[in-house]
A and B are shown apart, each in its own frame.
Chain A
Amino acid sequence: MSEIILDMNINGENISIQVPSNMRLIDILRVKLRLTGVKEGCGEGECGACTIIMNGKAVNSCLVLGIQADNATIITVEGLAKNGEMDILQQKFIEYGAIQCGFCTPGMLMSAKALLMHNPKPSKEEIREAIAGNLCRCTGYTPITKAIEAAVKV
């Protein structure tokens, strides 16, 4: 079993971790680091439930091999709240009823966060485009879009 050592900054904390060479980033996060907010919905990059932010970009952590995350800065849903206070996106998701079964929620939040990190005032179309890689079966996306719009206005 070939193992590698990865250095990463995850949710603001520098870590060094030894993992099998063929381990996907999603498994490193979920299994090794117990960041189980990262969800696996398809394992093929189609549903977006495992979306995290890597070096400022939203990516599907199921499509990232561990080595690709070496020296990367990663944010997961667990890293959104600061000092016990939820991120404005989390607050608005709650306020607008954007969460039903909740399985897509962490991925949705990360896609939305990545958008706002490089485009603080996106249009409705830009918001929809940013979450188009995240499937949701409960909400029809309507309250999610509204929640992100509301977060933008704050």
Chain B
Amino acid sequence: MSFKIYKPQILRDLFTFMKLYMDSDVKLLAGGTDFMLMLENNKIQPDLVIDLTAVQEMKGITVIGDELCIGALTTMTELAESALVRTYAPLLAEAAVSMGNLQVRNLATVGGNLANASRSADVVPALIALDAVAIINKDDGSRQELVEEVLRGSRKTSLAKDEVITFFKLKLAKVGTGMAYEKLGRRKSGAISLMTSNIVIEQTEGKITKARLVFGVMTPSARRARPAEDFLLGKTLTEKIATKAAEIARSYIVEYIQMVRPADLDRKELGYAYKLPVLEGVAKRCIISAYEKGGV
């Protein structure tokens, strides 16, 4: 079924339009890689589609002060190739390049990745590990929210109907910060993520001053494994400590699922029996790798 299309050039027009059509079934189109699948499978039947691709204000990667600002329409390829991202948030560049295949990365956007809130979203866990903040705008205001808090479960976000994610902010990595990423998939390209490991570790004189451990796909929305992060604080990393932190991370994931969706642990298609021990092994090597990278 066909629909009306609106293609705004500036944010102001976008918001005006969204307000005007508050009562219609409006769908925003960014990269379109998920949108098109839903459209073809009749999972969405919008009255109006707003194509965001011409909105320049939602594009670009810049450094402002001690923050990296990333437009919501930035594609995965742009993230992966950006010298700024590679320097100040290499984790995000690695996560971006691991997504889908090149043709998909050339279309898919970072904002779309969050707004879709898919369990297997590729860059969202990296954004969480980087303490990224989403800037969310609407006609008469804007708000900021940690990416972790925007997510409210699989395919659920805090976004209201008239709100749009316009860009992301994250602090530039300090000296002594190391990051490590690993994706578990059935092949090297174009694979659906079975799990992703997103690790950020800051250290001063060998002692861990900040740790972020986020494991994608393992929970309906990605969450920081805080107990494992807390465990690492103040410690000088050894293999034993990395092993222990990985164990804690695994226990945390299990406890979290038991809390939110206990039946999931036994659902064969979610593969926890296989993934949990793997998470432990992958977490361990990523923690070591991040620590080593930050130590130089």
Q: Taking beta carbons and an 8 Å cutoff, which residues of A are in contact with B?
A: 1-4, 20-22, 24, 43-46, 48, 51, 57-60, 62-65, 67-68, 70, 111, 129-130, 132-134
Contacts and interface: CB of A to CB of B under 8 A. Distances in A.
Contact of B104 (A22, A45, A70, A129): A45
Nearest to B108: A63
B102 A21 contact: no
B190 A132 contact: yes
A60 B103 contact: yes
A3 B40 CA distance: 18
A58 to B, nearest CB: 5
Nearest to A22: B2
Interface string B188-202: 111000000000000
Interface string B20-47: 0000000001001101110110000000
Q: Is the interface of A mostly helix, strand, loop or mixed?
A: mixed
Contacts of B103: 45, 48, 51, 58-60, 63, 111, 133
Given A45-B103, A45-B104, A58-B103, A65 B36 contact: yes
Contacts of A65: 29, 32, 35-36, 39, 49, 51
B5 A4 contact: yes
A68 B53 contact: yes
Contact of B51 (A44, A45, A60, A67): A67
Nearest to A132: B189
A103 B104 CA distance: 20
Contact of A133 (B3, B36, B40, B100): B100
Given A45-B36, A57-B77, 19 more contacts: A2-B4, A22-B2, A24-B36, A44-B37, A45-B104, A46-B101, A51-B103, A58-B106, A59-B103, A60-B107, A63-B32, A63-B36, A64-B36, A65-B36, A65-B39, A67-B5, A129-B102, A132-B189, A132-B190
Contact of A63 (B49, B104, B188): B104
A68 B40 CA distance: 16
Contacts of A44: 37, 40
Contacts of A58: 102-103, 106
Instruction: Please provide the 9 A-B residue pairs with the shortest distance between their CB atoms, ordered closest to farther.
Output: A133-B101, A132-B189, A57-B106, A2-B2, A60-B103, A22-B2, A133-B103, A21-B2, A63-B36
Contacts of A24: 36, 40
Nearest to B78: A57
B296 interface: no
A22 B1 contact: yes
Contact of B188 (A1, A46, A59, A132): A132
Contact of B3 (A2, A111, A129, A134): A2
B7 interface: yes
Contacts of A3: 2
Which among B77, B100, B103 has the greatest number of chain A C-beta atoms within 10 A? B103
Given A1-B2, A129-B189, A67 B7 contact: yes
A24 B3 CA distance: 13
A123 to B, nearest CB: 15
A133 B106 CA distance: 11
A40 B40 CA distance: 14
A130 B102 contact: yes
Contact of B36 (A20, A62, A134): A62
Contacts of A70: 7
B104 A64 contact: no
A115 B106 CA distance: 12
Contacts of A133: 100-104, 189-190
A20 B1 CA distance: 9
Nearest to A4: B5
A59 B106 contact: yes
A132 B188 CA distance: 9
B189 A21 contact: no
